[in-house]
A and B are shown apart, each in its own frame.
Chain A
Amino acid sequence: MNLSKILKNGFLILIASLVLTACATQKKVSTGKMQGDVYTGTDSVEYLASGVPDRVFFATNETVLTTASRETLRKQAAWLRKNSNINVVLEGHADERGTREYNLALGERRANSAKDYLMTYGISSDRISVLSYGKERPVDSGSNPLAWSKNRRSVTVKAN
């Protein structure tokens, strides 16, 4: 093996891979709205009260709550304790990249994840009902990962 040859070819590979990695890094940095697979932006988020977001987001096929979700739910629980006459419906949703019936079950599970967490913060289950919409009511009609991440959600809606 010739050293100069190695260096020459190595240089070519280097240039090529840098070009590729640079592109990848660019995307992540500019949007900053998804972490892993979970939506972290504020687009489409509404507020139950000042500083209390009404929804939490999930990763694909997942129903576990992220740290951010838990923080949101703690805020919701605090607000619900203050307004003890308000009841809520937790609406669970899924993105379109799955079969319809399974998505109905997934939405239900997501909403129940949120409900269970609220209950651990002292909200009575009588005040919380759960409703799954599966993939039927997306909030973003795009067909791309960002749109899908916005649709994987559990939304807390005032019932009265």
Chain B
Amino acid sequence: MNRNITISFGLHTILVIITAMSLPFLSKKPIDLPPIISVELIQISDKTSIPFAPKAKKIIEKVKEKEKKLVSEQAPPKKVKKLKPDSVPLPDEKIEKVKKIKDEKQNPKKVETEVKQVSEFEKKELFDTNSIAALIDKSKVESAETNKKLDKITQDQDKNMDFSGLSLSEEDALKAQIFGCWSIPLGLPYNEDLLVRIKLQLKPDGSIIKTEILDHARMNKPGQGFYKVLAQSALRAIKLCQPLRVPSKGYEKWKELQLNFDARQMLEG
């Protein structure tokens, strides 16, 4: 037994010496702190609820110029954000997108007159704007979700106007409300496509006139039973949350709303 202890002691001493030579706490190097970057905190509501009138004229001028140019439908993007196709868009990207949508809504009258002028000049058959709208909307709908966000950016990129249907804070309020109402079915398979898009028509007080599930065909597809369950849970969430937390003004901008229920984040857990 003694022999063992002696050997153990000797070997340990050797180890200790080696460790002592190389232990970091023995060498007193100064700690390297990263340089302090000064950050300025801005209130974003200033940026998102900008009054439109002063800028409107400038913007309308810009639109006219662009119309005269020969551009393809997919003009080279001015601000291309590197998006992973199926990621949730970041808040600042949303501001861009939402702002651009607001732009267009602000000036429907102006642009319409342009259209009329050109078509008279043209003497071609009148395009049925509604059917084209339907086609374009459908193509937006039918394109795979992976491309959805990308398309949005390229379509809107040539407009950098300052309009939006909902401000960031208004959108957050609505989201927070629905988060509370949506009981995500726990039994869903977590590695499937878990996105349900529902189009809503709203009354000014936030109550619902009509709901429509996009991708309706998936509801009864065999093997996609969970999609129906997910869609039903989304519908229940909407019904439960009536009246929706909508802004008090600007009804025209948000009277039609599309809610994209994506359960992946919650279930990936």
State if A and B touch, Cβ cutoff 8 Å: yes
Query: Which residues of A line the B interface, CB within 8 A?
Result: 1, 5-7, 9-10, 13-14, 17-18, 21, 25, 29
Q: Is B23 at the interface (CB under 8 A from chain A)?
A: yes
> Could you tell me if A14 and B13 are in contact, using CB atoms closer than 8 angstroms?
yes
> Could you tell me if A17 and B12 are in contact, using CB atoms closer than 8 angstroms?
yes
Other than A10-B17, A17-B15, give 5 A-B pairs with Cβ distance below 8 A. A9-B26, A14-B12, A14-B16, A25-B4, A29-B1
**Nearest 5 interchain pairs by C-beta:** A10-B20, A14-B16, A6-B20, A13-B16, A10-B16
Closest to B19 in A: A13
Task: Determine the main DSSP class of A at the interface with B.
Answer: helix
Q: Is B21 at the interface (CB under 8 A from chain A)?
A: yes
Interface residues in B73-112 (C-beta closer than 8 Å to A): none
Indicate which residue in B15, B16, B19, B26 contacts A5 across the interface (CB closer than 8 Å): B26
What chain B residues lie within 8 Å of A14 (beta carbons)?
Answer: 12-13, 16
Q: Assuming A1-B26, A14-B13, A17-B15, is B8 touching A9 (CB within 8 A)?
A: no
Q: Assuming A1-B26, A9-B23, A9-B25, is B12 touching A21 (CB within 8 A)?
A: yes
> Could you tell me if A6 and B26 are in contact, using CB atoms closer than 8 angstroms?
yes
Measured CB to CB, the closest approach of chain B to A122, in angstroms, equals 42
What chain B residues lie within 8 Å of A10 (beta carbons)?
Answer: 16-17, 19-20
- How many residue pairs link A and B with beta carbons under 8 A? The number is 33
What chain A residues lie within 8 Å of B31 (beta carbons)?
Answer: none
Docked Cα-Cα span, A13 to B18, in Å, equals: 11
> Could you tell me if B16 and A17 are in contact, using CB atoms closer than 8 angstroms?
yes
Closest to A24 in B: B8
Q: Is B39 at the interface (CB under 8 A from chain A)?
A: no
Measured CB to CB, the closest approach of chain A to B12, in angstroms, equals 5
Q: Assuming A1-B27, A17-B12, A18-B12, is B19 touching A25 (CB within 8 A)?
A: no
Q: Is B33 at the interface (CB under 8 A from chain A)?
A: no
Q: Is B52 at the interface (CB under 8 A from chain A)?
A: no
Query: Which residues of B line the A interface, CB within 8 A?
Result: 1, 4-5, 8-9, 12-13, 15-17, 19-21, 23, 25-27
What chain A residues lie within 8 Å of B21 (beta carbons)?
Answer: 6
Docked Cα-Cα span, A126 to B1, in Å, equals: 48
> Could you tell me if A25 and B8 are in contact, using CB atoms closer than 8 angstroms?
yes
Name 10 A/B residue pairs within 8 A (Cβ), A-sorted. A5-B26, A7-B20, A10-B16, A10-B19, A13-B19, A13-B20, A13-B23, A14-B12, A14-B16, A25-B4
Docked Cα-Cα span, A6 to B15, in Å, equals: 13
Measured CB to CB, the closest approach of chain A to B71, in angstroms, equals 69
What chain B residues lie within 8 Å of A18 (beta carbons)?
Answer: 9, 12
Docked Cα-Cα span, A1 to B28, in Å, equals: 8
Docked Cα-Cα span, A18 to B16, in Å, equals: 10
What chain B residues lie within 8 Å of A6 (beta carbons)?
Answer: 20-21, 26
Docked Cα-Cα span, A13 to B21, in Å, equals: 12
Closest to B1 in A: A29
Docked Cα-Cα span, A29 to B8, in Å, equals: 14
Measured CB to CB, the closest approach of chain A to B225, in angstroms, equals 35
Docked Cα-Cα span, A19 to B174, in Å, equals: 63
Indicate which residue in A9, A21, A25, A29 contacts B20 across the interface (CB closer than 8 Å): A9
Measured CB to CB, the closest approach of chain A to B212, in angstroms, equals 53
What chain A residues lie within 8 Å of B1 (beta carbons)?
Answer: 29
What chain A residues lie within 8 Å of B16 (beta carbons)?
Answer: 10, 13-14, 17
What chain A residues lie within 8 Å of B27 (beta carbons)?
Answer: 1
What chain A residues lie within 8 Å of B9 (beta carbons)?
Answer: 18
